[in-house]
Amino acid sequence: MPRPAPVRVVGPLSWIVWPTLIALAVTIVLGTPIKLFRLSPPEPVIPLVLAFAWPLIRPSVLAPLALFAAGLFLDLFWGGPTGLWPLALLAVYGLTLFARNFIVGQERRVLFAWYVGGVLLAYLIVYVAVAVQAQNAPSVIALVFGILPTILLFPAANWMIETFDDGDMRFR
């Protein structure tokens, strides 16, 4: 009689709660007003990594709630209009969830292209919303300096997908 294979159960605490808290903590650390060689640290939108990875790992009811809370935190932390970053994060989550069947199982270059598309979508939403509210277009150079560090976080999204994707075989 064959022995059953052990099942590694990964609960929401390990793939939703802890990554959210870590992302917010890193956001606070990078948002501190320190300068090194007259340069401020980059301020990537770290929860975008989560908004991209979570629908590919496993669609969940808790993930959009955590993204909404993280987005509200970003709005309060950066002093932006309330609801702006939750909208952008949930748009990326929704796009990735919609395209999940096309993305899952693809090679890393395809994942990177989808990640870049999600980051560009989030920043486009934020750019348009800020431009409409302020009735003036924000600086495109500042926008690019926000996009690039966020795109460079793709290895973190890829690591999350590879680590937690096969975490619980009951959902396969």
Please, what are the domains in the chain?
A: 12-171 (1.10.1760)
Digit-by-digit pLDDT tens for the chain (172 residues) are 566 655 555 666 778 899 999 999 999 998 888 877 777 777 889 999 999 999 998 888 899 999 999 999 999 998 888 999 999 999 999 999 999 988 888 899 999 999 999 999 999 999 999 999 888 888 888 888 889 999 999 999 999 988 877 654 444 4
pTM across the whole model = 0.87
The DSSP bridge partners found for residue 39 are 36
In angstroms, the CA 122 to CA 41 distance is 21
Question: According to the model, what pLDDT value does residue 32 have?
Answer: 83
In angstroms, the CA 124 to CA 116 distance is 12
Question: According to the model, what pLDDT value does residue 170 have?
Answer: 46
**Contact 83/68 with Cβ under 8 angstroms?**
no
Model confidence pLDDT, tens digit, residues 124-171: 999 999 999 888 888 888 888 889 999 999 999 999 988 877 654 444
Query: 27-30: which pairs have CB atoms within 8 A and are 24 or more residues apart?
Result: 27/73, 27/74, 27/77, 28/77
- Name residues whose C-beta falls within 8 Å of residue 15's C-beta, 6 or more positions apart in sequence: 54, 57, 58, 160, 164, 167
In angstroms, the CA 36 to CA 126 distance is 28
Question: According to the model, what pLDDT value does residue 168 have?
Answer: 47
14 HSE (CA, 13 A, CB side): 12
Question: According to the model, what pLDDT value does residue 171 have?
Answer: 46
The single-letter code of the amino acid at 78 is W
- Name residues whose C-beta falls within 8 Å of residue 87's C-beta, 6 or more positions apart in sequence: 71, 125, 129
Residue 66 CB neighbours (<10 A) = 23
- Name residues whose C-beta falls within 8 Å of residue 49's C-beta, 6 or more positions apart in sequence: 23, 153, 154, 156, 157, 160
